[in-house]
């Protein structure tokens, strides 16, 4: 064999490598997408924290700098009315006192669900790929995306979710294992995490669609292992966090590739929804999961002044530092260099196995 065991993903999108640079809201942007595309991967733009005008400008800038497939990623959560968060603020009161700041009301949650305006934007800019987290949009919006032509990815955390995504017309499935950094994309039956390799194998055996493995993959060995179990491609986030093109703050960056990155935890403190990240002062003080945290995305509102105060002082005490379980294994390098090395190393391992 000389090549990848499954070309369906690359043929679907035209990328040189079966790698998607993960759409990490707050950490990824134009620079990372451009570098990943130049290295042969699919570049992603996280759009849940952007306006349509900002997405339009970023797509244009990526197109100007690189020729290759772009993935626009959106959230499909439901935003309820702001809840009564008095218990949450009482829990945070000692932290406000420690930082010598007032417990201000804070602003509105920054994460926006996919809507009519973003749908029109997708129809306008024509990305090669559109991916959704927390399920899929309403059928009327989804069918407009289908008609516009982009391939559609849905994120599944269980085999049952994968089947639901396939039944609604997704072209490929992101299998998000328990190991993955950032928010778990569950949407059907609550948080019921499955390890990546078990999840990939179950989906591959039951669905004919290409499967993109996501969670704990940071090197060529991880890519090769995922593809030997049936994945057509991989989605990588944590390894790209250590690149200079990522937008993470210094305290977050300093822990990657060290023993400080060896322990990640699933927490709901920063947004109100389960997400995997590195420990910090808030988690150590309050525990990783608190019932007092308002539902996603409202928990971030009361945290905003604490986070701002600590970050102004160069600390990540109240900031989400999302990372997957392999965070201690990452190596700092440029994103293009990383992409090329990942592809080269994985392909060498896959070819060696069949010689």
Record the tokens describing residue 194, joined without a space: 């499955």
pLDDT at 79: 82
pTM confidence score: 0.95
Residue 286 confidence (pLDDT) above 70: yes
Question: What's the rounded Cα separation, in Å, for the pair 317 and 153?
Answer: 34
| 1-78+113-248+331-355: CATH architecture | Alpha-Beta Barrel (3.20)
Q: How confident is the model at residue 80 (pLDDT cuts 50, 70, 90)?
A: confident
pLDDT in tens, 62-72: 999 999 999 99
Please write the tens of the pLDDT for every residue from 13-29: 889 999 999 999 999 99
Band the pLDDT of 137: cuts 50, 70, 90. Answer: very high
Which pLDDT score is estimated for 105? 59
**Domain spans of the chain, in order of start:** 1-78+113-248+331-355, 83-108+255-320
**Does pLDDT of 204 surpass 90?**
yes
Helices (H) and strands (E) in the chain, counts: 14, 11
Q: What is the mean pLDDT of residues 247-261?
A: 90
* pLDDT tops 90 at residue 55: yes
Question: pLDDT (tens digit, 9 = 90+) per residue, 310-338?
Answer: 999 999 999 999 999 999 999 999 999 99
Residue 1: pLDDT above 50? no
pLDDT at 2 over 70: no
Sequence-separated contacts (24+) of 199-205 with Cβ below 8 Å: 199/156, 199/157, 199/158, 199/159, 199/175, 200/175, 200/226, 200/229, 200/230, 200/231, 201/229, 201/230, 202/159, 203/156, 203/159, 203/162, 203/173, 203/175, 204/229, 204/230, 204/231, 205/230
pLDDT at 3 over 90: no
């Amino acid at each position: 064999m000389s090549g990848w065991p499954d070309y369906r993903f690359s043929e679907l999108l035209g990328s040189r490598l079966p790698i998607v640079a993960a759409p990490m809201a707050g950490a990824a942007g134009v620079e990372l997408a451009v570098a990943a595309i130049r290295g042969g991967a699919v570049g992603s733009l996280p759009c849940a924290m952007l306006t349509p005008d900002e997405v339009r400008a970023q797509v244009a800038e990526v197109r100007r700098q690189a020729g290759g497939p772009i993935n626009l990623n959106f959230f499909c959560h439901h935003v309820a009315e702001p809840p009564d968060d008095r218990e949450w603020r009482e829990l945070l009161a000692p932290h406000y006192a420690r930082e010598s700041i007032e417990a201000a009301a804070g602003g509105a949650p920054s994460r926006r669900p996919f809507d009519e305006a973003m749908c029109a934007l997708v129809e306008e800019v024509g990305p090669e790929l559109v991916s959704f987290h927390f399920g899929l949009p309403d059928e009327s919006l989804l069918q407009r995306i289908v008609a516009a032509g982009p391939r559609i990815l849905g994120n599944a955390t269980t085999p049952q979710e994968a089947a639901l995504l396939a039944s609604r017309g997704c072209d490929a499935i992101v299998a998000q294992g328990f190991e993955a950094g950032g928010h778990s994309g569950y949407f059907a039956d609550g948080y019921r995490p499955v390890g990546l390799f078990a999840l990939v194998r179950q989906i591959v055996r039951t669905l004919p669609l290409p499967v993109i493995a996501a969670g704990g993959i940071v090197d060529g060995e991880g890519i090769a292992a995922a593809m030997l179990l049936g994945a057509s491609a991989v989605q990588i986030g944590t390894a790209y966090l250590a690149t200079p093109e990522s937008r993470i703050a210094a305290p977050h960056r300093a822990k990657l590739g060290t023993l400080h990155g060896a322990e990640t935890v699933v927490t709901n403190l920063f947004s109100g929804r389960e997400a995997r990240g590195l420990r910090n002062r808030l988690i150590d003080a309050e525990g990783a999961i608190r019932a007092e945290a308002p539902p996603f995305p409202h928990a971030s509102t009361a945290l905003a002044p604490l986070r701002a105060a600590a970050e102004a002082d160069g600390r990540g005490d109240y900031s989400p530092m999302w990372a997957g379980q392999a965070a201690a294994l990452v190596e700092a390098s440029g994103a293009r260099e990383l992409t090329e090395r990942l592809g080269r190393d994985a392909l060498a391992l896959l070819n060696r196995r069949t010689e």
